[in-house]
């Protein structure tokens, strides 16, 4: 009976793969959220810099 492959380990392995998959998806979601937040903050910085650059004195100094 011990030599036969009973469903115990395979069920356990598939369960661990399932948990691992959820964990990986959750980590990716957190990473994506962090990257998106960073992109937004960079975008805000670019916009504020562009606003400052669009002033007449600043643009004449750049040209």
d(CA 17, CA 23): 10
CA dihedral for 43, 45, 51, 54, sign (positive or negative) = negative
Domain contains 37: yes
Domain contains 18: no
Per-residue confidence of the chain (63 residues) as pLDDT tens digits?
455 555 566 888 888 899 999 999 999 999 999 999 999 999 999 999 988 887 766 555 555
Q: Which domain holds residue 31?
A: 26-52
Domain count, the chain: 1
Domain contains 21: no
Token pair belonging to 15: 């369960």
SS3 state of residue 10 = helix
CA dihedral for 33, 36, 42, 48, sign (positive or negative) = negative
For residue 27, which of 16, 38, 37, 35 has the smallest C-alpha distance? 35
């Amino acid at each position: 009976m011990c030599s036969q492959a009973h469903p115990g380990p395979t069920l356990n392995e598939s369960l661990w793969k399932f948990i691992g998959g959820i964990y990986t998806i959750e980590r990716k979601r957190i990473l994506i959220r962090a990257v998106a937040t960073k992109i937004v903050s960079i975008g805000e910085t670019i916009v504020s810099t562009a606003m400052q650059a669009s002033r007449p004195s600043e643009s004449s100094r750049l040209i």
